[in-house]
A and B are shown apart, each in its own frame.
Chain A
């Protein structure tokens, strides 16, 4: 091998290493260190752990169910999400912007609230059952939704469809329309064009979205517990039971490790499927190629999709928001006589500290905390995400090792991570482990895989020819980056910011471990209300959830608005 060739093959590794430096240090320090410390402590004879005594059935049974439900849920999510992505990427229709924001909201809601929303719609006394009972003169509610396998699947589709829509429609709307036009000119039918041109170009983003959804379903906790009921247990639910109810931390650790190994295997499988092929395309601007539906068939399909998305993703949210402004006043002793009326009482009550509780936090403060944590999360993850995306662009063997390690935080249970933080970050500079920065750091660990999976395909698709042209014209490297990479990356950066925002705003598991009582987030405040009896508490939990939705929708609106207005500026 000549020196010249060697230097060529070596160079990317060095470059990749430089890009990896900060992200790897971050993950190593804040993820691998606490996790390994925890496992090291717990899986030892001091803690009464004996590998030989381990009953393997306690691992296989939940593992089997976890995998099966995740696969089915992911499939259903794709069935709804891919047409959704098609709709958003190709068509203009009234209310499009609003619908896109609304379909993102399920992602942020705490499960305990989502369960309440589904209940208001599909529960034993939900609107649907009441309607059907009245219509067909039935004695008992015809739809049994809660505590069924179907409830788990529905809730997973409800939560995760937005991932597919966001990731895939972003890639789709950036495809160069000239390729499809060329295929058409060459005599390809629309179906052929789709199969041979569009689909192969979409493959990386579809696979990336599928991976994220599958991993989210694989580590599902609240949905299984609250909507699936006691008949179902995933690995994550088992970890929770063993750690917090049986205080069997060694078994909880073994289950966590199993979950991490599976995450690693799934990611490796995905990477193999995705391959290394790099498809570069000259991206088009967002608006070109979107149009109003023309033929009857198109109109029918798009209308149907809007209805499906609306009733599946928006209706449960709407029923929650509605319930937070409706008074259900039962006159004493007469259960049937419920007078419904409009009320803002629950919202007013949020601002009142009735009992003079030391830990009372006004809703504005909780919203402010949530937003500050989300902002820090976005800052950390976008910086690290861009670095990782550039590292992954280098053809370096270390990427094959480091990339899957980056995905592991998605497979780590919040409980395990929380406990790990406690044993590691309890000395300076984290003198009190509730040092407020730990919370956005934990959120960043979860959000980073999403952001990398969004940014990396976008970066890969930028053709080098553009950069070379700029360089040939005399642009210095930084200018090339500012004038070529940044504008072409900006749609993906916007999607990433939205992921960072929504993941941080909605995160509950790790937050419940790491929040300091003086800095509660919105989901923590919601939980505090709904875990106490009394109509007022229930109403306030729903009011607070509605507030969370409004804060999040506002955030997404501003981010997308910024994208729309910043085009010229970039």
Chain B
């Protein structure tokens, strides 16, 4: 019966013909989103059909690329972040490509000097706070990571487990950038003693525990994204003139995540893949990024939408760590953190 089914389905598939456009396959994660009009324009211009393979989070998508590298499932991979960059480069997933558009991207984003992976966008993992709570209680908003250990903020912060959530891991890495590998565990001991609440995933933290979202939970501070306040305005139930939340912006309070794109090693469509990467780095695509994915364009010529200008503060001193260091220590950091905070 299955065979019959397979044959029927196969015979329904369109037969490839010479006039048919070529297909370029892009492998990416679940959060990838883009305006339909832009994609249709690109397809028409290059006589190509774009197929997107979108699955799971960054980790799932990267696993797929690694497991299928002998027989690549796609031509382009987008969505690799700086915490997994070294692993992907070590696996030899990509072919180098020095796009001419890299000239429009500030040096701070070009982490891979050999251009196997090209930066596309960046975002910050920040602590969001519930503005109303701090107003009503006449409480000053903390301005540094250190201040979070003060008594007046006891029990007010909820974060995600770094072992099961990427914003949780990013926040852990922000503290390592701030306090150093020798001292960060002391900080976490103090934070845990100050009533830090830990949950497994962003959804629970944001929608159940955080008081600034619709969840109306008990904690007025949550580890989320720098762009979440803008999303609260854009996806409000009723129109808001001002975001109900904001991010704590201070030195090293936010961890910067940069996302990269690369041409998968062994592609049969190298030229088209280059065109697609140039397209992703072009102003048109870069200006589409914020509203679709709630991250920021790396191209310095791309303008931000008004909702972002009004509601998002971009940290001037974001925390960051070298990708090689993250690669070498990720497991140790997470396990030490678990021993310190959870056990």
Contact = CB atoms under 8 A, between A and B. Distances in A.
Contact of B200 (A230, A432, A532): A230
B60 A230 contact: no
Interface in A99-138: 112, 115-116, 119, 123-125
A429 B9 CA distance: 10
B33 A245 contact: no
B34 interface: yes
B94 interface: no
A419 interface: yes
A426 interface: yes
Interface residues of B, number: 85
Interface string B1-13: 1100110011000
A437 B12 CA distance: 13
A47 B39 CA distance: 38
A515 B55 contact: yes
A247 interface: yes
Contacts of A237: 164
Nearest to A529: B235
Nearest to A509: B56
B292 A355 contact: yes
A386 B240 CA distance: 58
Contacts of A215: none
A429 B6 contact: yes
A334 B131 CA distance: 11
Given A433-B73, A533-B232, A328 B68 contact: no
A102 B250 CA distance: 50
Given A355-B33, A534-B236, A147 B67 contact: no
Contacts of A146: 199, 204, 208
Given A125-B215, A433-B73, A359 B33 contact: yes
B331 A248 contact: yes
Contacts of A380: 1-2
A310 to B, nearest CB: 24
Given A335-B133, A513-B55, A328 B237 contact: yes
Given A247-B87, A422-B73, A533-B224, A226 B204 contact: yes
Contact of A243 (B59, B161, B218): B59
Contact of A359 (B25, B54, B237, B291): B54
Bin chain A's interface residue count.
35 or more
A335 B132 contact: yes
A539 B56 contact: no
Given A229-B200, A512-B55, A534 B235 contact: yes
Contact of B235 (A333, A434, A528, A532): A532
Nearest to A334: B132
Nearest to B330: A246
Nearest to A113: B203
A423 B135 contact: no
B63 A358 contact: no
Interface of A: 22, 26, 38, 41, 112, 115-116, 119, 123-125, 141, 146-147, 225-226, 228-231, 237, 240-241, 243-249, 327-330, 332-335, 343, 345, 355-360, 376, 379-380, 383, 415, 418-419, 422-423, 426-427, 429, 432-437, 512-517, 527-528, 530-539
Closest 3 CB pairs of A and B: A534-B235, A244-B59, A230-B161
